[in-house]
Structure 1
Amino acid sequence: MASLKRLCFLVVDDNHHMVSIIKTILRGFGAEKVVEARDAVEAFDLLRSNPIDIVIVDYMMPVLDGIEFVKLVRTSSDSSNLHIPIIMLTAHSERSRVIAARDAGITEFCAKPVTANELYRKIREIVNSPRAFIKTHAYFGPDRRRKVEDFPGEDRRSSNAQEV
């Protein structure tokens, strides 16, 4: 496994024990720079004043939840890094919440209880296969498509095809 030594992480969670677990996992993979925040407001301030490479954020937090934090990072005029990779880590993994997180612009989603291997796999994906960002009138964030389909057959839809 590659070391995470050169990356700086921001862990955002109101649960001290969860922050401690995530920091221990990251340090186990070689991360030396891990900044923590207890809420989204503190995290947003830290993002503006620190060279953070990857954010790991909880879904349920007081004041601003993880979704509102992601939207703030992705769309605020005073956001320091609109393109920063964001991993949402939560016990609330119902389909509707996963979709809401995706639509807010998260990069990866991990359900608690998270394993060290799962978190490392998500980080490795971010580092080794970064996705392009998409901007539309209703969305700004990583391309939701994980793989590019290049279907050359005669049934391929043209770009001007209308859906029925």
Structure 2
Amino acid sequence: MPSEQITKSGVLIVDPQTNMAALVATMLRGFGRRDIREANDATQALAELRRRPFDLVIVDDALSDMDAVDLVKRLRATANSNRSASVIMMAAAPDAARIEAARDAGVSEFLRKPFAANQLKARLDSIKARPRAFIDLESYAGPDRRRRREDVGDDRRCD
């Protein structure tokens, strides 16, 4: 087995289906990413996150051993280098409440399954082109949830 090459741009894919994790890894390799690790449950994912830094975590919403939103909350609550990693959540049938819960947990982007490689690339490009500040409050840790920047003018009142 070749030795692992750890880079500053590592990706962790967390998906209970090994074939889906492998497919996402293949897509990422097509985009030039080489430092990719796969975990098939939250326990493996947490072990990987403790072991080394990643700049991107891609997690499937259908984890069986822990709720995926809870996994993201744990990631954001842990004081280590992975706390500020970008997180893309994948889901087969998300509803608005689930997407909102993921956003409120600190997910950076959401991707509905099934998806094509260009849709994953669009999420990666969005993260790179429009990085959002990391917010660290008692009630929330994660990327700034506001996507639009609007000039409200000097005459806006707060009464």
TM category, shorter: 0.7 to 0.9
Q: Which residue of the other structure, out of 7, 10, 15, is the alignment partner of 1:8?
A: 10
> Is 1:43 aligned to residue 42 of structure 2?
no
Q: 4+ residue stretches of structure 1 with deviation over 3 A?
A: none
**Residue identity matched to 2:24:** I
**Residue identity matched to 1:143:** D
Matched-pair contact (CA < 8 Å) for 2:53–2:81: no
Q: Distance in 1 between matches of 2:144 and 2:53?
A: 23
Q: Distance in 1 between matches of 2:64 and 2:85?
A: 23
The DSSP-based 3-state class of the residue aligned with 1:110 is strand
**Residue identity matched to 1:43:** A
Matched-pair contact (CA < 8 Å) for 1:48–1:80: no
Q: Distance in 1 between matches of 2:154 and 2:113?
A: 41
User: Which residue number in structure 1 is paired with residue 136 of structure 2?
Assistant: 135
Matched-pair contact (CA < 8 Å) for 2:55–2:82: no
Matches within 5 A, 1:1-164: 7-77=9-79, 79-152=80-153, 154=155, 156=156, 158=157, 161-162=158-159
Q: Per-residue CA shift, 1:69-98, capped at 9, x if unaligned? A: 100000135x44211111001113110100
Mean Cα deviation higher: 120-129 or 52-61 = 120-129
The alignment of Structure 1 onto Structure 2 pairs a total of residues equal to: 153
The DSSP-based 3-state class of the residue aligned with 1:69 is helix
Q: Distance in 1 between matches of 2:42 and 2:126?
A: 24
TM-score, normalised to structure 2's length? Answer: 0.88
**Residue identity matched to 2:135:** I
**Residue identity matched to 1:16:** T
Matched-pair contact (CA < 8 Å) for 1:6–1:31: no
Q: Per-residue CA shift, 1:114-164, capped at 9, x if unaligned? A: 11111111111212221002233321111111121113274x3x3xx14xx
Matched-pair contact (CA < 8 Å) for 1:74–1:141: yes
Show structure 1 runs of 5+ residues with no match.
Answer: none
| RMSD of aligned Cα (Å) | 1.8
**Residue identity matched to 1:123:** L
Show structure 2 runs of 5+ residues with no match.
Answer: 1-6
Q: State the percentage of identical aligned residues.
A: 41
